[in-house]
Amino acid sequence: MKLRLAFFYGLPLVAGLFWGCSTKKDTFVNRNWHALNTRYNVLYNGELAFEDGREELNATYRDNYWELLPVERLEVSGEVKLDSEDNNPNFLRAEEKAAKAIQKHSMDISDRERNPLTDEAFLLLGKARYFDERYIPALEAFNYVLQKYESSDKRAEARIWREKTNIRLGYEELAIKNLKQLFKYIELSDQEYADARAIMGQAYINLSHPDTALQQLKTAAAYTRKNEERGRYLFIIGQLFNQMQHPDSANLAFDKIIAMNRKIPRVYLINAHLKKIQNTEVDAESRDAVLEYLTDLEENRENRPFLDKIYRQLAEFHMGQGNDSLAVDYYNRSLRAAQGDRVINAFNYTDLADYNFDRNAYKPAGAYYDSVLLNLEENTREFRAIRKKRENLDDVIAHEEIVRQADSVIALYEMEPVQREIYFQTYIDSIRALDEAEAARKERQAEAGFEAFANSAGGKANQGKFYFYNITSLGYGKTAFTNKWGNRELEDNWRWSNRARVLPESGEAGDLAGAAAGPEDLTEEEKYSLEFYLGRIPTDEAVIDSLRRERNFSNYQLGLIYKEKFKELLLAAGKLERVLASDPEERLVLPSKYNLYKIYQEVGSPLEASMREDIIRNHPQSRYAAILTNPEIELAAMENSPEYRYGELFKAFEAQRYLEVITGSEESISQFTGDPIVPKLELLKANAIGRLQGFEDFREALNYVALNYPNTEEGRKAQQIITEQLPQLESTEFTQELSAPGTQNWKVVFPFKRHQEKEALALMEDLEKSLKDLGYRNRISRDIYNLEDQFVVVHGFRSRDFALGYVELLKKNRDYRIDNENFVILSANYKVVQIHKNIEAYRSQLETPKS
């Protein structure tokens, strides 16, 4: 009976459920069935995934408070995406759920949607695509809502999201026009109104209208019901006022943020404090108050996650007050607290690099600039500027090191013998005292450790044991041995092994002693030996003269670098003046004087006139004197200027006048020594040598450029060629032409002597005519082989037989009758011949019988 009743009542229910699943019947059951499934099944899970995705974005996104914040916290790649590859899985899941809701539960009957929740599915679909940066598909979803669901309560939200998408696509004017229509015709809730005004403010920011953007953001901050959004809008308002040079108005916005206190994320609060301090002029009256303000921020335990920013502001405060050591300390504290924030790291490293550079500490400055580059995005303007400055520092560091070492050796050489003995004995005594103090410290540290161990449970367990098994006794013995002998390998004659540490160097004493001792490790006997140091001082006047020349040249180079690349005119003047005061070579005198004249002229020095007269009176035939007596002459247009000479030599190189390039470059290098054009001339000469003399001479010439100009662009390029290209060109092996594939590139080569230029040009004319008559598309060139030989080459035959056939046709055709000596060669083998200048080897090994 019960079974019959169940069947009687259950059958209609199952039938109703079955028929209710249909999306083609517009009935009460169907509509509510699909709406229920959309709301509490598919769409519910999609919205959960969407919120998870947004929370993940908020957790990983880091605002850059040193730049104007975007209205919406969303990190974008800047790419317009059309597919869903490599995107956030939460947003992909939300999109899948939205698409499933549309596919399974949409009830489009008679061109009208009967499921009241399908518009929400399309809206979720557009949002998920928006956050995945697929703006065009997102725009399609939002437009579909607006076109299809005229009575939907989601139309206002869809229009706001559509305009957000238009702004992302760069259509700010269209977004502003549509938003104005939205305000005019549609009634919005307070939150929707705030959202619309906020994105309208972003559009005006993108269009560089900060004053109009301010009004929109003020309205958004007033209407939003979310404190986090209000805090963000107020912060952007403060930043915009700062951009417009209105710090007082900016501080009013920051004060509103501070008044909100714990109602907003603390990151806005801390940055509002710091921006307010940055807008405060620090003078004698406000200095103590500002320092107390910053100290309170530093000591507040709630601010620990933001100590990197607070420390940086303290560093800038102390730097502005002239407390350099405190500033450097706080910069380093900020770096330690930054927790991988690349933006603040880049700022801190840049400030430390500039600080060291301004104090002529070039090595640490270079290291800090390296760290800056690691924290900047490549292919940005900032990255390129820092990289260029860092590369320029390479030259400075190298030349400053040369000057330092030369000065040290020369200073030792010029000392009286008694002064040298006193100097080195003082140095030896100081390092002995340092070594003894360090050894005593280590011994005390070891004894304290062993004593602590002896009083511990493990140490007491070792007491009374044979000394070889007593850890405490072994420790004492090992420490004593190390202090006396250092770390020695177990080997024969271990007591005589050279195991001394590197000699410590610090200050002037370290520089001079290091210059005398050299870079090698010293034995214990040498380390404390007065005779050893005295014996390392050069005594040959020629060696000292060489050091003086190197020092003068490096000082000259430093003067040019400081003047041209860093615009440090006083530093440049000091270096050039030192060159002139150090009895320089004649080649450095005139360029130093002229560059000093230009510096004096730029800084308004009274020495300008006297230097000008010096150049005109003592060097009347020089190009510099010509420039000074006739200022209208453009240096680059003068026939003997470096730039003009390089240009002419480069033209000669392109015309294959390689001997002229080599001799002309040598002459110009001697004439323009010290000029920045010299490395360019050297590299041009090296290329000409390679073309004229072959592989080995080319490698030698490149090595010269790379070794003598390592910190220039040309030196680095030469090293790159040596490392990457020369290994590929080193082989002298010829390809076996008879076994080469028939589709290879072949050439016909007509050899001539260098003095047969007229004959070679005449043949080229005949060959051009023959190619034109025959309809061939081959190319003809005249290639210099060496000082004695040249080739006229017809390129581009697709097989050896084709090339031989062309030669035969030239010989027998009565219109040409060209019977010059020639040979056919594979393109790869011709390249080997030109690189290694081994035509004799080729013709003796692989040349086929002449035609």
pLDDT beyond 80 at 240 = yes
Q: Is residue 551, in this structure, part of any structural domain at all?
A: yes
Instruction: Pick the more confident residue, 306 or 530.
Output: 306
For the chain, the average pLDDT equals 80
Rounded-to-integer distance, Cα 467 and Cα 452, Å:
18
- CB neighbours of 239 closer than 8 A, spacing ≥ 6? 68, 69, 250, 275
611 and 704 belong to one structural domain: no
What is the average pLDDT across 467-482?
Answer: 57
Lowest mean pLDDT among 22-36, 72-86, 135-149, 509-523: 22-36
**Confidence at 12, pLDDT banded by 50, 70, 90:** very low
Rounded-to-integer distance, Cα 339 and Cα 334, Å:
9
Q: Is residue 186, in this structure, part of any structural domain at all?
A: no
833 and 761 belong to one structural domain: yes
48 and 75 belong to one structural domain: yes
CA atoms within 13 Å, Cβ hemisphere of 115: 29
Rounded to the nearest 5°, which phi and psi values hold at 784? -75, 130
Instruction: Pick the more confident residue, 309 or 48.
Output: 309
**Confidence at 51, pLDDT banded by 50, 70, 90:** confident
pLDDT beyond 90 at 235 = yes
Q: Is residue 385, in this structure, part of any structural domain at all?
A: no
In 3-state terms, what secondary structure has residue 513? helix
- CB neighbours of 438 closer than 8 A, spacing ≥ 6? none
Run of H or E residues at 138: helix 135-148
Quick check: pTM over 0.85?
no
pLDDT beyond 70 at 89 = yes
Q: Is residue 233, in this structure, part of any structural domain at all?
A: no
> CA dist 372 to 308, 318, 413, Å?
16, 22, 41
Which CATH number characterizes residue 693's domain? 1.25.40.10
SS (H, E, C) 771-835: HHHHCCCCEEEEEECCCCEEEEEEEEECCHHHHHHHHHHHHHCCCCCCCCCCEEEEHHHHHHHHH
Q: Is residue 687, in this structure, part of any structural domain at all?
A: yes
Q: Is residue 220, in this structure, part of any structural domain at all?
A: no
- What domain range includes position 571? 542-633
Of the candidates 169, 200, 167, which has an alpha carbon nearest to the alpha carbon of residue 183?
A: 200
* pLDDT, tens digit, 9 for 90 and up, residues 564-611: 878 889 989 999 999 999 999 888 898 899 899 999 999 999 999 999
Q: Is residue 355, in this structure, part of any structural domain at all?
A: no
Q: Are 235 and 219 in contact (CB under 8 A)?
A: no
721 and 837 belong to one structural domain: no
71 and 110 belong to one structural domain: yes
Rounded to the nearest 5°, which phi and psi values hold at 377? -75, 135
Count of domains in the chain? 5
Q: Which span out of 152-156, 222-226, 391-395, 807-811 was modeled with the highest average pLDDT?
A: 222-226
